[in-house]
Amino acid sequence: MQTLIVQVATTFVGDAAALVNGFGRIVTHIVMAPIERIANACDVAGVLQMRRARRSHRRGGGFGCLRFLSELT
């Protein structure tokens, strides 16, 4: 009985974490969309496109949602 309670609690915590992570991604994309449009408009030489092609899809921990800010440097 106790393992069932632990399993339900673990599942709930995992689902809650996934929900918060998804919500964070949505908010980040909404907030960063204008900056991304400006960066793409200013990218005359195609540098951002080359960086995106070389970049692997990795997560940066707690601040992984801000990883595409490195493209603006």
pLDDT in tens, 15-64: 999 999 999 999 999 999 999 899 888 888 888 888 777 776 555 566 66
Averaged over 1-27, what is the pLDDT? 91
Nearest to 52 by CA among 33, 68, 35, 31: 68
pLDDT at 4 over 80: yes
Domain definitions of the chain by residue range: 2-72
**CA–CA distance, 18 with 24 (Å, rounded to integer):** 10
37-68 burial, b at 16+ Cβ within 10 Å, e below that, comes to: eebeeeeeeeebeeeeeeeeeeeeeeeebeeb
Tell me what pLDDT residue 52 has: 77
Tell me what pLDDT residue 25 has: 93
